[in-house]
Structure 1
Amino acid sequence: MLLLKMLLNKLSGISGGGGGGLGGAMRLMVRHFSRARAENLRKINPRLPPQEVKSIAQSVYQVIKDKGAVSISNAWNHVQEAGIDSLSSKTHMKLMLKWMRGRKMLKQFCHLVGSNKKFLLTTLPEDPQISAAYLQAKLETQKKPASRIRRRKKRKA
């Protein structure tokens, strides 16, 4: 409601700031709508006691961490192989995965294969300092081959 009021004031020129009202309103709208929507964790109900939810989440996290980036159907196969009996169905596992994504335990990303989309699940890096150091080392190794310049030997006359 407040946003709508500010927007109307900007468009009508009552803002009192002078200058173009339409440009400021456009910037305000862009800034408002570019924010990421927060996950609504209250609506995600894992249907289990909290202790059991925590143990299931830890075991599913470990399975995904060991196997790397996996699709949801592959995750279900790996969970069945691991013997996690608390998950009653694939739908229940999907609900748990959504809960884990909301808790920032997992990350889901899209991998395009031709015209098909494939959604993969991965674990987030546990220690940001280690992952930052790894990325820095990787960047340094990538820069070295490109910076090599062969110098010609000078001949004595």
Structure 2
Amino acid sequence: MQNKTLTFILGLFGLIGAIILCVAIYSLCTTYRSDISDYYVLLGMGVVFLLIGVVPLIMSIRRKNLNAQLLQTGRAIQAKVTSVEFNQALTVNGRNPFVIYCQWSDPLASNTLYLFRSGNIWFNPSDFIKNETVTVYIDENNPKNYYVDLTFLPQVV
């Protein structure tokens, strides 16, 4: 995840969920059977908090590993930039990130057009796109697995 604050919050949710889950399990093991129903609510809360914290972190790690693998073993293609737009699905502190949309027509498969979307960019990249194309790394066995290379953009400090 690019946003350290979001990673911290998700990690905190996961930690709180793990603590609640441990307390619920300990309480279930040490109480009498007549009082057991109250601890199922605690157990459920622990599972929910744990999932809210852990699932996005696992997805982020998987995406990062897939991108690293595509950079090493993927096929590099040149995709034509079609637009730079706001990602309306994500708002952080009242701001929306930009994304680069591009497309590539596979010369080996007639009538096959692939559409690609970059990761979130927290500044307007339009001024830094000097060419009509950007490099995209694709998995030749499954072109739906791809990585839009944004190394031509400056790093934000």
Common fold: TM-score over 0.5: no
Structure in which a larger fraction of residues adopt helix: 1
Higher Rg = 1
Structure in which a larger fraction of residues adopt strand: 2
Name the TM-score, length of structure 1 as normaliser.
Answer: 0.30
Name the TM-score, length of structure 2 as normaliser.
Answer: 0.30
